[in-house]
Structure 1
Amino acid sequence: MSINDQHIILSPDASPQEILTSGVTAAAGPVKLACSFSVEDVVIIDLIQALQLPVGIFAIDTGRLNEETYEVADALIERYRLSIDWYFPRNGAMECLLQAKGPFSFRESLENRLECCRVRKVEPLSRALAGLSGWVTGMRREQSVTRAAVAAIELDQANNGIVKINPLLNWSSGQLWEYAEAQRLPVNRLHRQGYPSIGCAPCTRAVQPGENSRAGRWWWEDPNNKECGLHRR
């Protein structure tokens, strides 16, 4: 493994276990998984537990999560005896946004949607990442065009250059579900109702046949804009 100013380079066929282990080693400090309770994140939690890696878990509650998402959180806590650090939008910022623009401003323009994501997700993420040397995500290249160039392990320049670890980067949806079913992992009930990617309830719908896995996120927008700001490049 070698490091340059952009990437930590692994073998192209490195397994999720190898990516996780190498990433935690490269971080050389505290590492946490950013958990949205997707099937990807549930699989990663199982891998972390199996490898006995010193990786914590945090979650961002935007105030608009589905009930099914909380059910997965409870199931994971019960199964693995997890401790999850929860982060929330700052009350003042949330109140100002709602009073100024109402509860559905995010549907009016890309700028308004990014503003909502910034208040509900990005600012809490900055607090969650404070003091960390690395973080783990469930991003996969197959998910969308916005994630095609992501590396398995990279230096996250948007977040003070900490190590960003994407262990499932090269896995297909088939590989993901094969693992989840073999391990009998608790998964979000919405996944089996046509929701491969689940975010805030008002911004997520089921996908149609032939659509990519993130087509149901902010479905009214151009596919090239479908990120919330958590994974800035």
Structure 2
Amino acid sequence: MPFDPRSPSPVERLQQELPALDPAGRLALLRRSVEGPIVFTTSLGLEDQAIAHLIFTAGLAIEVATLDTGRLFPETYALWAETEARYGRRIRAFYPRQEAVEALVADQGIDGFYHAIEARKACCHVRKVEPLGRALKGASAWVTGLRAEQSAHRGGLELATWDQGHGLIKVSPLFDWSREAVAAFVEREGVPVNPLHARGFPSIGCAPCTRAVAPGEPERAGRWWWESEGRDGAGSECGLHLTPDGRLVRAARGAPRGEAVS
């Protein structure tokens, strides 16, 4: 059937239909609606474990992938193995380029990211941003565990966006959930979670760049804390969800007309 240019774009259609559904329904509708591969990138945090549970238990044809930076907590690796054993599914790993890591460490030292924001961003680019590009190559849609409540910087998130940088639809099925709601869900469903959460780590990334947070601090205050003290955690982004000019990707006006959606 010829495409009707008056019809809503794929993102606009998802923005209209997804909000009325629960996260399981959102994932199922996304899978039915989008032609081509869908990738869910997990850091094995609380939200991501909830989404992986929904994907695995429903048998959805959505690839679950993670970015192994080489600097993760031992608890994260243990949870990774536990999750694969629990659901009988592999989590595909993407690693930084060996040559890029060697050049990075030769230039700034093993922990050079502590000394300058530019050095930290360079480390995040090598260990996370570049591997993410490979993880999403050829995908039509990207599922993330972002929630609007996580930080002031993420407060303007929407459920579905068009990610111009990667040229795909980006959906955050838990974007309007509270942390308490996610925690209640994983407890009720018996989803395996990182034990660091119970030790004051609401957001868990690389071990050298993550600390526990104090009561009353924002969820992401423990990420790159030496940069974001006094800024309400607004600077605590690694670059995965930022535009080239450093802004968080917001809801676009929709994907280009004619993108493949049933």
Post-superposition Cα deviations, 1:21-78, rounded to whole Å, max 9, x if no partner, equal 2322343211121011111111101111333321111111101000000111111111
Q: Does 1:44 align with 2:54?
A: no
Instruction: Report 1:30-41 matches (<5 A).
Output: 30-41=37-48
Alignment match, 1:102:
109
Written as runs of structure 1 = structure 2, the 5 A alignment for 1:150-189 is 150-160=157-167, 162-189=168-195
The aligned amino acid for 1:92 is E
| Count of aligned positions | 232
- The amino acid of 1:228's aligned partner reads C
Q: 1:40 and 1:114 mapped to 2: Cα distance?
A: 24
**Any conservation in 2 of the 1:197–1:213 contact (CA below 8 Å)?**
yes
Quote the offset at 1:187 in angstroms. 0.5
Letter in 2 for 1:119: V
1:74-127 superposed Cα distances (whole Å, 9 cap, x missing partner): 111111111221111101111111011101221122211111100000000011
Native 8 Å contact 2:41 2:143 kept in 1 = yes
In terms of Rg, which structure is larger? 2
Structure 2: where are the runs of 5+ without partners? 1-6, 243-248, 250-262
CA RMSD of aligned residues (A): 1.8
The 2-side partners of 1:208 and 1:65 are apart by: 21
Matched, 1:92 2:102: no
Query: Helix, strand or coil for the counterpart of 2:65?
Result: strand
Alignment of 1:19-34 (within 5 A): 19-34=26-41
Aligned residue for 1:59, secondary structure, equals strand
- Structure 1 residues 10 and 18: alpha-carbon distance in aligned structure 2, compared to 1, 3 A threshold: farther
Counterpart residue type for residue 176 of structure 1: V
- Higher strand content, 1 or 2: 1
Structure 2 vs 1, CA of residues 7 and 206 (structure 1 numbering), >3 Å: closer, same or farther? farther
Q: Which runs of 5+ in 1 are unaligned?
A: none
Deviation at 1:2, TM superposition (A): 4.5
- Give the secondary structure class of the aligned counterpart of 2:93: strand
Matched, 1:218 2:224: yes
| Cα distance in 1 between the residues matched to 2:91 and 2:15 | 30
Residue 13 of structure 1: CA displacement? 4.7
Asked if the contact 1:136/1:166 (under 8 Å) is kept, the reply is yes
- Compute the TM-score of the two structures, normalised by the length of structure 1: 0.93
Q: TM-score, normalised by structure 2?
A: 0.84
Measured in 2, the distance between the counterparts of 1:211 and 1:112 equals: 25
- For 1:9 and 1:74, the matched residues in 2 are separated by 35
Aligned ranges for residues 188-203 of structure 1 at < 5 Å? Answer: 188-203=194-209
By how many angstroms is 1:136 displaced? Answer: 0.9
Q: Is the 8 A contact 2:38 2:139 kept in 1?
A: yes
**Which residue of structure 2 aligns with residue 135 of structure 1?**
142
Structure-1 separation of matches of 2:10 and 2:88: 37
Moved more, 196-205 or 20-29: 20-29
